[in-house]
Structure 1
Amino acid sequence: MKKKNNIVLIGFMGVGKGATARALRDELNLFNLDCDDMIESAYNMKIKNIFKEFGEKKFRQMEQNLAKYLEKSVNNSIISTGGGFYKVKNLKNIGTIIYLKSSFEGIMDRIKQSPNANKKIEKRPLLKDIQKAKELHKKRDKEYKKVADIIIDVENKKIKNIIKEINKELKKDKS
């Protein structure tokens, strides 16, 4: 199957995939989809409650089901994913994969500076244990790099500069 004309944002939780997707949506005039929101809507449950009630394995199955839907039914969209979505088997078929990269400390600083910092930390079950989260970040960084078509370092950058970089890389990618 030919790669779809979607932009798929991957990266660690809290790196700013949702905010970047919204800004990119406005810039490129494309539709924006958030995987976690779609799963919450489909199952009528918050992600943290899905983890609590069914566990991570079941949540990853939900992500894979969503990935199949995105591959089959979605085009010309910006898709922001959850931190572990990069593991879905058909990721490369969904669109151009952009890894938003930042250090763990950079991500935590970004979260802590947001107006609703406590909520942002609470809604991410895997951030409950900071040491474990730091190890997970280190492991995933390598994995994100392997699946990414484009890597954008977002640490300490304003959203408009991130969007400029993404646009520049997307133009290169097309030529």
Structure 2
Amino acid sequence: MRQTYKNIILIGFMGVGKGSVARVLARKMGVFAIDGDDLIESFANKKIKKIFEEDGEAEFRKIEKNLAKFLEKSVNGVVISTGGGFYKVKNLNKIGTVIYLKSNFDKIIERIKAAPNADKKLAKRPLLSDLNRAKALHKERDEAYAKKADLIINVEDKTPQQVAAKIVKLLNRKHLKG
């Protein structure tokens, strides 16, 4: 498939599989995948967990906002996986086509716990340290993600390959409609 969109931006709750889907989708489309959290860590020269611990969430969100400006002005023709709160940046839809990878909270936790490196995956997500709070956050964000999205894909019980194939199909359909 030829890239016909500025960028493809994957949003959704932490642990839903945005990074895995981005890599598969980018390969299918013949473009690069970039990870917003990796770019933030590179900019700050520390892991996200450390940014939260040492500088607080407000500083993290400030860096995230700067990343959004950079992506809008300087990045074109890539698949971008984002952190769970990236949907709040004001210029999100100017960066590219926004796709919400949707899953219920329990399925996300199942997915993370089934991963070979589950402990690491849980440890690197500071907002998952309190599952009750995280579940409330998921509920709060679900509607907001949907409002920001150009497309919504239910990812429950699907492999990254299946999700990427569905995205390509929907993007082709959307492109044909204009």
TM range (shorter): over 0.9
1:138 aligns with 2:139: yes
2 CA distance for matches of 1:13 and 1:63? 15
RMSD, aligned α-carbons: 0.7
Aligned to 1:172: 173
TM-score by length of 1: 0.97
Secondary structure at 2:168's aligned position in 1? helix
Secondary structure at 1:167's aligned position in 2? helix
- 5+ residue gaps, structure 1, are none
Aligned to 1:75: 76
Aligned to 2:35: 34
Aligned to 1:58: 59
Aligned to 2:48: 47
What is the CA distance between 1:5 and its match in structure 2? 1.0
What is the CA distance between 1:101 and its match in structure 2? 0.3
1 CA distance for matches of 2:84 and 2:161? 22
1:162 aligns with 2:163: yes
Moved over 4 A (4+): none
What is the CA distance between 1:173 and its match in structure 2? 1.8
Q: Deviations over 1:131-161 (max 9, x none)?
A: 0000000010010000000000000012221
Contact 2:25 2:165 in 1 (8 A): no
Amino acid at match of 1:20: V
What is the CA distance between 1:99 and its match in structure 2? 0.3
TM-score by length of 2: 0.95
Map 1:85-96 onto structure 2 (within 5 A).
85-96=86-97
The alignment covers a number of residue pairs equal to: 172
2 CA distance for matches of 1:24 and 1:167? 8
Secondary structure at 1:86's aligned position in 2? helix
